A and B are shown apart, each in its own frame.
Chain A
Amino acid sequence: MSFLSVEEIIKNYDGVRALNQVSLHVQKGIIKGLIGPNGAGKTTLFHLISGMERPASGKIYFKGTDITSMEPCEISLLGVGRTFQTLQIWGNMTVVENVMAGMHTRIKGGFLSCGLWLPWVKRAEEEALKEAKEILEFLGLLGRWKWLASQLSFGQQKILEMGRAIAMKPELILLDEPAAGLTATEVRQLAERISQIRDSGVTILVVEHHMGMVMEIADEIAVLNNGELIAEGTPDVVRRDSQVIEAYLKSTRADA
């Protein structure tokens, strides 16, 4: 059984079939790109994997566990982190607190022990702060760790959201359009960082419209169109697939 496997998923939104019999398998330790035109069902698939929505039929397995009908927090406890296409950063907290909040489940303590600031809570908080700063250094945001997250630029907020996902030490990260709205330099840095995260042993599933970046970093690519999986394989195979060119690459060229 593969690391993450999606089996014949069907998802409807009020009569619109968003995903039709989609099956997807992700091996451990790779970057898998998920591409397709707008409305192809990529984000829907992410919502299903992270448990925010339920499929009409089909099963999703993560590390052999059936996660189809689990709550989002249970799924994230199994080791699935994600970012959002529409930014979901906590603007009411500082940058470092955002990352520390990502470590929520790894810090010990309940309401009473936190309120009384017992010794182990103090120690855990200090360790969390140190670790959060390391993550921010890796992402290049350490200079702004005391800022409110809402004061960061859009691109930095996207990177911070990724930092929050890393902070929970997941085994699988779902990145929903991490490069949207970033400048060319930032995209290059982002690609480098995503590869580094993969090299540290984390599996990554990434939805992205920035074709250059996906082709560069992904080990495997799956293409969705109108809720159906039309191609799957290495970047070179997908790039030459006639159906993909027909459905996606051509249409984006026409748009541009």
Chain B
Amino acid sequence: MVDSNQREFRKRDLFYVVPLWFLSLILPDPHLDHRKESRFRWRDLFYLGALLLLPLMWPDTHLHHLMVLAGINAILALGLSLFLGYTGQISLGHAAFFGTGAYTTAILTTRYAFPTLVAFLASALAAAALAYLIGKPILKLKGYFLALATLGFGEIFLVIVRESPNLTGGVIGIFGIPWFSLAGFSFDTYLKQYYLIWGVLIGLLLFSKNLIRSKMGRAFLAVAASEDAASTVGMKVAQIKIGAFVLGAAFAGFAGSLFACVMSTANPEAFSLSLSILIIMMVILGGMGNLYGPIAGAILLTWLVDILGKYQEYSLPIYGLILILLLISFPDGIGTRLNIRLIYLISYWGRKKRRERVEL
């Protein structure tokens, strides 16, 4: 009974019991029931309603544009979370796949006049194919070495893009990419783009949810926790890592294609190392091994970068300070930390019930 103090209910617990209970209504579930997270539940309806109504209740074009960018970042973060959050591998070159997607769309639509939908699908395929070719040799590395190799890959991608003006327009980039259009309907305002991008995000989120609750999700988590154990139950570790890498790249390809259509330009500055690190920050801040977390992290960071833009030269130090403070108070991500508090509360109630039964 060393830690009996911690198990007693104290008055100050009431301060967070009530807010946490409210939060528990809208936040994703603690990881107690392996199937619950994948079911469609009331809180998903709440998210969906909020997403649909937000731009209508707040008719500010700047906010719409910000949410469009947040949606693109969220797609990137979602893809990376499969690789970083679930499979436990690091990639510092994710922006390269984003760039591949954007350039594929740019080249196909401006030079060959392909419909945007075809370019959209081709972008994901191109990014996935590149990821497969790169991943095959690179993913044999682990930890720091993998980080270095992917970092190098990202830089090489940038150099190739800058130095081949015939294909990618060099440092100037490609202009005049048409709006995304579907069967004659053109997504030409921020509001329409908002619904397009968050629609794509919801589709990819459902795909990821299904993947995570299936044998593949378990394989990802198994590889992250112990590769030795994973190989003794017959999992092909290399294949699983490449699968997660390629899927993350395909998501980034979708995001890049949408980005090119929204911004109507593609230039190398947008796909640098700072973007790769921003995506990683979104996943870490949102919570590893959690699908809603990276999306929350993407919205938070996109919004933060925008707000701090006002402070000009002070923005970077303030940004760094806020990140440090967030990581100190939520060391394993916003989503995960709240889940742990919830698990604590639930197990506390469970223990209390058990104790009462024993006393009777």
Contacts and interface: CB of A to CB of B under 8 A. Distances in A.
Contacts of A50: 232
B289 interface: yes
B181 interface: no
Contacts of A164: 229, 233
A73 B214 contact: no
Nearest to B207: A115
Contact of B233 (A71, A124, A168): A168
Given A94-B33, A111-B216, 11 more contacts: A76-B231, A84-B229, A90-B222, A101-B233, A104-B218, A110-B216, A114-B215, A125-B213, A125-B214, A125-B215, A164-B229
Point out which of B226, B229, B235, B243 has the most chain A C-beta atoms below 10 A from its C-beta.
B229
B221 A92 contact: yes
Given A76-B234, A82-B232, A115-B208, A146 B225 contact: no
B225 A90 contact: yes
A71 B228 CA distance: 11
Given A90-B225, A101-B222, A73 B215 contact: no
A24 interface: no
B218 A88 contact: no
B235 A73 contact: yes
Contacts of B222: 90, 93, 101, 104
Contacts of A128: 215
A206 B237 CA distance: 26
B236 interface: yes
A91 interface: yes
Secondary structure type dominating chain B contacts: helix
B90 interface: no
B95 to A, nearest CB: 23
Listed residue (B211, B219, B222) with the most chain A CB atoms within 10 angstroms of its CB: B222
Given A94-B34, A115-B207, A116-B207, A81 B232 contact: yes
A104 B34 contact: no
B225 A91 contact: yes
Interface of A: 50, 52, 71-73, 76-77, 81-82, 84, 88-94, 96-97, 100-105, 107, 109-111, 114-117, 121, 124-125, 128, 146-148, 164-165, 167-168
A101 B227 CA distance: 13
B328 to A, nearest CB: 23
Nearest to A147: B32
Nearest to B208: A115
B233 A114 contact: no
A76 B208 contact: no
A198 B234 CA distance: 22
B148 interface: no
Nearest to A164: B233
Given A111-B243, A111-B247, A72 B215 contact: no
Contacts of B225: 89-93
A168 B218 CA distance: 14
A152 to B, nearest CB: 13
A109 B215 contact: yes
